[in-house]
Structure 1
Amino acid sequence: MSEYDMIVVGGGPIGLFGTFYASLRDMKVLLIDAQDELGGQLVTLYPEKMVYDVGGFPGILAYDLAQKLVEQAKMFSPDIRTSEVADGLEKTSDGMYVLKTDKGNSFKTKTILLAVGLGRLMPSRLGAKGEVEYENRGVYYTVRRKKDFEGKRVLIVGGGDSAVDWALTLAPIAKSVTLIHRRDQFRAHERSVKELFQVAKVYTWHELKEVKGDGQRVNQAIIFDNRTKDEKVLDVDAVIISIGHKGDLGNIPKWGLKMKGRDIVTDAMMQTNLPGVYAAGDVAQVEGAPKLALIAVGFGQAAIATSVAKKYIDPNASVFAGHSSEMNKFKKE
């Protein structure tokens, strides 16, 4: 059975940075991710969106950011396994852990960093007529490639940041963009909502009733006013249902971790109630601190978690080993 200093569960931005930082601290690391491609939400939900809240980048395409993080994570050649789910966790008699996966594999480790974000992501569906029939043939839950919508009549369903951002992103290249939202209040940034009304046709208090097509592709959508029940028929080529994704943490909540809702509770050192097990990023709730679901915050949490884990493994090590500009200092502890 392979043994590691740390197993990082989750291949999103925080897991990737945690993998890099643990490797930088001369720890033997295994990264496990349930998705088939590293990058987490950056590649699964919004690969073509711009990310503005990461230090050093005035703006960077989400997919490009993911690739830079993957490159960084691989600098010290950690072991990486994708399309594999962390399933079970057992404590051994020597104080280590055995992590078991859905592939029947077992790995022994001294510490674990849980950076699973929302967990395995599945799109939230409306249940509208024709929605399933035309999935990936005109009905989509995210935009993987902007060019697929060039010159198309696009209908977007939703009122959050993702829905509004996609409307703004596609408006310059689509033939037309229409957005419907079941309320008149948006959960997106105020500046974005203001711009939305300038570039797209917006129907508030409206919902999607049915998606129609020719058997091959979508060509119409029926929407209705949820107050009056009046219906409108829209000629469309694509329907993007952007009402969120559901995260599945699998069996992780059964490992004996202290949870608050779907969040894993940690202290300020990112330690969970299980010795040697840490959490960082969207899945972590630091006791006594506000929760900010930002990549920048997760990076800091990952650095704290891996540094504390280094000290946990080797009491003679320093939590802070020095600045990364002195890289040799990290490798010679």
Structure 2
Amino acid sequence: MIIAVGRGVAEIQRLELQESNDNEHVNLHYTVQNPEYFAGKRVLVSGGGNSAVDWAIELAKVAQRVNVVHRQSEFRAMERNVSEMYEIADVRTPYQITQLQTNGERINQVGITHTLNREHILLDVDEVVISHGYTSNLSDLASCGLKMSDGMVLMSQHAETNLPGVFAAGDCATNESKVRLIAGAFNDAIVAVNRAKLYLNPEAARMAYVSSHNELFRDKNRSISRS
């Protein structure tokens, strides 16, 4: 068995305030489907990654005002876009949302708190956009007896897990020399497949092979070239 389930099922990282659940289908959004919906409105965007910055820039083109709140002092987005955002939006860092006030029907004020000096500010809003990224959970794999590290399946350099006959590849797996690139995932897959073959057939070659190394393909290529 080869486990290659990526980072698991991605789930939106929601704002952990009761009022956010009550207003999720009113004026609290986890995605922006139509920027024109925000035209002429006071919008607050919370987040520090590329999505948050990109939406802040786009919404600033149509909104009356865009506030951006991020709990860190530095943004994780592209520097050029961050610079543009600072020019067209009211950016507050390091602040995080700690309070949502409603007028009985929808959120009309958002309380933000400075993460260091605890200064508290109330901002008038019409719409709130939360862009805190995604979470994933592979804990169910641990219940199967797999050894985990930092929430991922621990594998050897040969893609072997602690369970005999079970191998891992890609973003779900880790070891001390793991390369977190697409190319690294491809390499994991090759190693895992070849190790699985060796597990099933101990007489198989111990070196990882790809199709171009296979004699059957070489013979086929030679026959095609002669024809």
* TM-score, structure 1 as length reference: 0.51
Q: How far does residue 133 in structure 1 lie from its aligned partner after superposition?
A: 1.1
Aligned to 1:285: 174
Structure 2 residue 150 is the aligned partner of structure 1 residue 248:
no
**1:249-276 Cα distance to aligned partner (Å, 9 max, x none):** 2421122223222121223333323233
Higher helix share: 2
Structure 2 residue 5 is the aligned partner of structure 1 residue 115:
yes
Sort the Cα spacing of 1:171 and 1:269 in 2 relative to 1 into closer, same or farther, 3 A: farther
Measure, in 1, the Cα distance between the counterparts of 2:83 and 2:172: 31
Measure, in 1, the Cα distance between the counterparts of 2:182 and 2:36: 28
Aligned to 2:94: 205
Q: How far does residue 178 in structure 1 lie from its aligned partner after superposition?
A: 1.9
**1:134-174 Cα distance to aligned partner (Å, 9 max, x none):** 01322233x26354755254312122444334434544455
Measure, in 2, the Cα distance between the counterparts of 1:301 and 1:270: 7
8 Å CA contact retained: 1:128, 1:208: no
Structure 2 residue 212 is the aligned partner of structure 1 residue 319:
no
Measure, in 1, the Cα distance between the counterparts of 2:86 and 2:11: 29
* TM-score, structure 2 as length reference: 0.71
Measure, in 2, the Cα distance between the counterparts of 1:181 and 1:290: 30
2:124 pairs, out of 224, 231, 234, with: 234
Q: How far does residue 308 in structure 1 lie from its aligned partner after superposition?
A: 4.2
Sort the Cα spacing of 1:154 and 1:268 in 2 relative to 1 into closer, same or farther, 3 A: farther
**1:99-119 Cα distance to aligned partner (Å, 9 max, x none):** xxxxxxxxxxxx2323240x3
1:207 maps to amino acid: Q
Structure 2 residue 199 is the aligned partner of structure 1 residue 301:
no
Aligned to 1:145: 33
Any unmatched runs of 5+ in structure 1? 1-110
Sort the Cα spacing of 1:138 and 1:252 in 2 relative to 1 into closer, same or farther, 3 A: same
**1:181-223 Cα distance to aligned partner (Å, 9 max, x none):** 2332333444443333133220113222333445444444233
Sort the Cα spacing of 1:153 and 1:309 in 2 relative to 1 into closer, same or farther, 3 A: farther
Sort the Cα spacing of 1:228 and 1:212 in 2 relative to 1 into closer, same or farther, 3 A: closer
8 Å CA contact retained: 2:197, 2:204: no
**1:243-300 Cα distance to aligned partner (Å, 9 max, x none):** 343322242112222322212122333332323322233321133x1552x4454344
8 Å CA contact retained: 2:44, 2:125: no
Paired residues, what number?
210
1:305 maps to amino acid: A
Measure, in 2, the Cα distance between the counterparts of 1:281 and 1:166: 30
Higher strand share: 1
Measure, in 2, the Cα distance between the counterparts of 1:172 and 1:303: 47
Measure, in 2, the Cα distance between the counterparts of 1:174 and 1:306: 52
Q: How far does residue 179 in structure 1 lie from its aligned partner after superposition?
A: 0.9
1:233 maps to amino acid: L
Aligned to 2:147: 258
Measure, in 2, the Cα distance between the counterparts of 1:320 and 1:313: 18
Root mean square deviation, CA, Å: 3.4
1:267 pairs, out of 149, 156, 159, with: 156
Query: Which one has more relative contact order, counting CA pairs under 8 Å at least 6 apart?
Result: 2
1:321 maps to amino acid: S
Sort the Cα spacing of 1:172 and 1:131 in 2 relative to 1 into closer, same or farther, 3 A: same
Structure 2 residue 47 is the aligned partner of structure 1 residue 158:
yes
Any unmatched runs of 5+ in structure 2? 221-227
